[in-house]
C-alpha cells in the first residue's frame, strides 16, 4: 500500500546512515516528507538526501546534537519551516554504545553521556515535537535486544538506557492514547551496521549469526520495513509494544 504516507511529515533522528538511512528512504518512498537529523557526518546526510530526492522524494538534513534542547528545537523548527507546521511521524533512531566499559571502568561522565544519547534524546525530541503533532500520528522509538538481555560485556550503560526507552514507550502509549497517537518501539538484535563493525569483534558476530535460528545477521532494510509497518495504518491497533527483530536469538 504505497503512498499511504503522502502529505505526511516525518522526523527521523540519526537518519543519515545505516538503519536511520534505510528508515528515511523507506518513509520517503511511501510519500512522506522526511526531515532527518545527523550529528557529525554531513557527507552521509547529504548522500541520504540525494538518494531520496533523486527517487522523487522529499528530504532535508539538519545537523544537531539530540541531547541538547536548543539543537532539538532547531531540528523541529527547520522541519516545520520547510514542510509545514504539522508533524505526523517521529522515529527516534539516534543512539549508540559509545564504548564497551565494565562497571569498574566506567566513570560518572561516561554513564551520563550514554544515558543522554540513548534515552534523554528520545525525551527531548518527543517533547519538542508533540505540540506540533497530528492526532492519529505515530512514534517509533529504538530500543535494543540489549534492553532485554543486558547486552554483551561492557554494555551496562547502553542496555540500561535502552531499557528506559522500553518503559518510556509504554508510558507514552498510555499518555498519548487519547490523541490516537500510537507509540511503539523496535528492538533490533544483530544487524549488519557500522555499530557492530565498530564495537563487535568479527568472531563474535560470526558466532552469534551461527547461533541465530535463521543463521545470519539482520539487514537495515528489514528494520526499516518494520518501522514502516508500525507507522502505517496496517498496525492501527498496535500500541505500547516492543517488536523484537533478531532472527530468533531472543524471545519475550
Q: What is the pLDDT of residues 132-148, one digit of tens each?
A: 999 999 999 999 999 99
Fold of 9-191+223-239: Rossmann fold (3.40.50)
Active site residue 250: no
What is the tens place of the pLDDT at every residue in 31-62? 999 999 999 999 999 999 999 999 999 999 99
Q: Is the pLDDT confidence value at 195 over 80?
A: no
Q: Do residues 76 and 12 touch, judged by C-beta distance below 8 A? A: no
pLDDT of residue 203: 86
Average pLDDT over residues 182-202: 86
**How much is the pTM?**
0.95
Of 5, 29, 158, 163, which is the active-site residue? 158
Cell of 103: 562497571
Region 220-241: mean pLDDT is 98
pLDDT in tens, 54-78: 999 999 999 999 999 999 999 999 9
User: 1 pLDDT exceeds 60?
Assistant: no
Across the chain, which distance is largest between two alpha carbons, in Å? Answer: 51
pLDDT of residue 252: 86
Split at pLDDT 50, 70, 90, the class of 193 is confident
Neighbours of 100 (CB within 10 A): 16
Domain boundaries, the chain: 9-191+223-239
Whether residue 88 contacts residue 11, with contact meaning beta carbons closer than 8 Å, is answered with no
Residue 236 has pLDDT above 90, yes or no: yes
Burial code (b: 16+ CB inside 10 Å, e: under 16) for 138-155 equals: bbbbbbbbbbbeebbebb
- The answer to whether residues 4 and 31 touch, using CB atoms and an 8 Å cutoff, is yes
Q: Are 196 and 205 in contact (CB under 8 A)?
A: yes
3-state DSSP assignment of residue 153: coil
Are 244 and 140 in contact by the 8 Å Cβ rule? The answer is no
DSSP state of 220: H
DSSP state, residue 127: H
Q: What pLDDT digit, counting tens, does each position of 89-116 carry?
A: 999 999 999 999 999 999 999 999 999 9
pLDDT at 119: 98
Q: What is the mean pLDDT of the chain?
A: 96
More confident residue, 206 or 55: 55
Amino acid at each position: 500500500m504505497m503512498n499511504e504516507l503522502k502529505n505526511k511529515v516525518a522526523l527521523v533522528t540519526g537518519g543519515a546512515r545505516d538503519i536511520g538511512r534505510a528508515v528515511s528512504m523507506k518513509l520517503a518512498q511511501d510519500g512522506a516528507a522526511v526531515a532527518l537529523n545527523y550529528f557529525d557526518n554531513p557527507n552521509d546526510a547529504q548522500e541520504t538526501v540525494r538518494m531520496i530526492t533523486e527517487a522523487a522524494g522529499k528530504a532535508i538534513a539538519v545537523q544537531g546534537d539530540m541531547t541538547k534542547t536548543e539543537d532539538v528545537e532547531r531540528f523541529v523548527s527547520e522541519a516545520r519551516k520547510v514542510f509545514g507546521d504539522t508533524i505526523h511521524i517521529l522515529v527516534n533512531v539516534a543512539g549508540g554504545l559509545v564504548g564497551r566499559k565494565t562497571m569498574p571502568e566506567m566513570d560518572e561522565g561516561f554513564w551520563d553521556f550514554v544515558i543522554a544519547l540513548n534515552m534523554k534524546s528520545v525525551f527531548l525530541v518527543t517533547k519538542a515535537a508533540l505540540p506540533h503533532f497530528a492526532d492519529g500520528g505515530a512514534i517509533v522509538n529504538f530500543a535494543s535486544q540489549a534492553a532485554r538481555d543486558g547486552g554483551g560485556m561492557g554494555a551496562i550503560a547502553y542496555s540500561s538506557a535502552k531499557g528506559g526507552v522500553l518503559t518510556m514507550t509504554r508510558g507514552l502509549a498510555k499518555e498519548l492514547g487519547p490523541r490516537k497517537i500510537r507509540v511503539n518501539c523496535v528492538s533490533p538484535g544483530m544487524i549488519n551496521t557500522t555499530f557492530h563493525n565498530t564495537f563487535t569483534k568479527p568472531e563474535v558476530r560470526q558466532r552469534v549469526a551461527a547461533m541465530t535460528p535463521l543463521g545470519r545477521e539482520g539487514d537495515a532494510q528489514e528494520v526499516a520495513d518494520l518501522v514502516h509497518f508500525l507507522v502505517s495504518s496496517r498496525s492501527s491497533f498496535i500500541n505500547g509494544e516492543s517488536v523484537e527483530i533478531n532472527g530468533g536469538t531472543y524471545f519475550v
